[in-house]
Chains A and B, each alone.
Chain A
Amino acid sequence: MPRRRMSLFWSVVVACASIYVFLAFVFPYAAMWIAGSENALPVPAALIAIFMALTIVGALIHVSTDDDRLREFLDPVVRLLRGWDRSEGYSTRAVARLAVLTAFPLLVGWVVYGAAAPDTRTPSLLRIQHPTMPGRYENLTNPFADVDEATRAQYIEEGTTLYQVNCRPCHGTKADGAGPMARGLRLKPADFQDAGTIGTVVESYAFWRIKEGGRGLPMAASPWDSAMPAWKDELSDEEIWKIVMAEYAIAGREPRKPESHE
């Protein structure tokens, strides 16, 4: 007995579905494993759409290359639409047919509704936390980087006092971003204990942020939502460098080392 081949129609459907499953569910985890990242790396929806369009076009070309194949491909569809004779029995097939025939117009109605109804989703705060710093700050270095241990300890102590007076209300006594004034801010003060804030930038970056504040941010970092004050008129450069040192010390973080230009 010859083995029954899967009909052309169903093999096309299965092929398209597997490619979708691969892109949407398998690939993100494979990429995570290859890149050694902690989170899955999802394929952007737009990219998935492009891949799927290519797949479908390819499949259509494949089935329409000759008349027989096209007929074979369309056969299940045609039979479904045409329906079956009563004599063949009032089976599940007939019920499935009815379901497909009603589902199609409803789907069309749903798509139209989705496109025409007003959007009431909550706007979200999407922003880049670490945009590129202005060039004039890039090459600054901490003037107190090479002092001896005792002087360093003294500067950190001075910086701590300045930090506790000026930054504590928002960033918190423990540099955890939970100061008493954080309550009313929707964009929360940075949590310096968190691995993703000052631990990932160089000291001059923190220096820039303290000097220019939220209003000094580029548009991509939504300056209008940031409460971070600009301290350039109120604290001297020396004071700011001491605060930077203290800020890292209180949070127990190390600044990123600047790449050396050799």
Chain B
Amino acid sequence: MRQGTSQARTKLRAAAFHALLILCAGMASVCAGQVVLDGFPTETVAMTPEIVEAGRQLYTERCSFCHGVAGAGDGSVADYLDPRPRDLTSGIYKFRTTGTGELPMDEDIFRVITRGVPGTAMPSWTEVLTEDERWQLVHYIKTFCEDFEYLTEEDYVEMRITVGAELASTAETVAKGEELYRNMKCWECHGDRGRGDGPASGTHTDDWGYPIWPFNLTQGWQYRGGSTAKDIYIRFTTGISGTPMPSYADNLSDEERWQLAHYIRTLIAEEAAPGSSVVLRSKSLKGDLPTDPSDPRWETAEPTEIALSGQVITRPRWQNPAIESINVRSLYNEDDIAFLLEWDDRREDRVHQVGDELSADDVEDTYVRLGSSRPQEAMRDAVALQFPVKMPEGPVKPHFYRGAPGKSVNLWMWAADRSGDAERDTSVEEMNATGYVDPPVPQPKESQQTHGAATWSEGKWQAVISRTLTTEDSAKDIQFVPGLFIPIAFNAWEGSNGERGLKMSMSSWYSLLLETSTPVSVYLYSLVGILLACGFELWLVRRLRKAGPA
């Protein structure tokens, strides 16, 4: 009995001691505010010569073609990429939890290898490399830059930033954050609505001399360092080394940082994920169609988000497109159909200098090479809708990339430089193409029947493009019939990104449906069916009753 109590007491004491330990550890981590992010390793692995050697082999196999055999960022793929693969000998790391200008923590490098850098060529390696293998790479790539060798344990503790407990996101914190966004002049680079279109946008180069654009804060899927409030907090606290994005470590209190981070999160557009719907529904409207992008009637049409990629099917293959999605709405009435296209574009480019198309022969490499110098070519912004000329019978369509010989497509191309052109009545040109080999052929002036109006503001184009439902020229023009699924595709050009001709963004085929209300006749037929069935039943019942019990 006595033994029992003393045992119980020891247990109790041990438990109390443990609880105290846990409490202390918890307090310590809160006080130090040590940052833990998703993608951080579960435990740290120290460097040994074997680990470095294993890392070298992995690096040669998995990373060298981008980052270069000696880590100088000059692998075979490097010249085609924007941003370029990092020069790992420079010691410049963008995504850190350390103070501005510092080297990264091992956990930071581990995290980049784990999750990659979204919106760039740097992939995530979670599925193909184990945690141990990722540690081997961390220790190997650190050998490229000798600055790491001089870091002591104390340095690591000192350079690490601290993050206070997260503030809840409320209307009030967001409003405070908006004020900070204005006062801290984030808008000078990132723009009033966050689309990367501020007055200073377009004037920057990074530390390697390449042009760089302020980030478009509305595109949630592109956030390179992560899009949680904590990630964003860390980003403007540490700054992004090697780029004009500054550190605000000395200008903001912890509370203010959370407020600003929560405001930035509200900028992320809450539109449907691109590609989630494949049918663009054109709504039927009584009366005239809107010709102005700001017409409130557009609100009644269901928007469809179209995903775009660079044209990489034939030369000039272009893998650094600026426009990655277009939001489209459509309305139609008895005579006409109109489309509203909206897309993010940091600069308004209304001037065109170079020849219209960039042909395959102008580029030798399989992909457009950016090389070490990137001349800023002044090109116009443009967008095009593509339809098959003939409604496909069955599933057979022209190829989504400019059709095919014998399978012509009809393109309506709106271009920003045309609106002031006195020679033209319209800023939209109708063209036809039967493949990508020859440039599309513009239709003669008298067959140009499309109309367009566009405005640019705060980093966004809005263009309305319209035409009659049917035309006389059925050999070259698509004829719209309500109730059918009509293939539709999109091309887009961002002039400031040097895009023209086949150096463009493009989508696959989507379906356009001019929505029809069910015709009255259908209801009539159904009613007749019901009445007939009732009559038949009545007749049967009466007959059987007359016949009497069997």
Interface residues of A (CB under 8 A from B): 71, 75, 78, 81-83, 101, 104-113, 116-118, 120, 122-123, 126, 160-161, 164-166, 168-170, 172-174, 176, 178, 180-187, 214-215, 219, 222-225, 227, 229, 234-235
Contacts and interface: CB of A to CB of B under 8 A. Distances in A.
Contacts of B397: 224-225
Nearest to B279: A122
A186 B77 contact: no
B398 A82 contact: no
A187 B80 CA distance: 24
B142 interface: no
B76 interface: yes
B369 to A, nearest CB: 10
A229 B312 contact: yes
B509 interface: yes
Chain A, interface SS category = helix
Given A164-B76, A180-B121, A227-B401, A185 B518 contact: no
Contacts of A120: 513, 515
B308 interface: yes
A76 to B, nearest CB: 12
B483 interface: yes
Most buried by A among B77, B312, B510, B525: B312
B485 interface: yes
B319 interface: yes
Interface stretch (B44-52, B209-217, B376-384, B530-538): B530-538
A174 B128 contact: yes
B540 A81 contact: yes
B65 interface: yes
In the A-B complex, the 10 residue pairs with the smallest Cβ-Cβ separation, listed nearest first, are A184-B309, A105-B533, A112-B529, A186-B508, A109-B530, A108-B533, A113-B526, A181-B309, A116-B522, A109-B526
Contact of B65 (A78, A160, A214): A160
Contact of A184 (B65, B125, B307, B398): B307
A240 to B, nearest CB: 13
Interface in B227-275: 274-275
B530 A117 contact: no
B314 interface: yes
Contact of B508 (A105, A110, A113, A225): A225
B360 to A, nearest CB: 9
Contacts of B519: 118
A185 B306 CA distance: 10
B313 interface: yes
Nearest to A82: B544
A165 B367 CA distance: 8
Given A81-B541, A112-B525, A120-B513, A184 B508 contact: yes
Contact of B550 (A78, A117, A170, A187): A78
Contacts of A71: 550
A183 B274 CA distance: 9
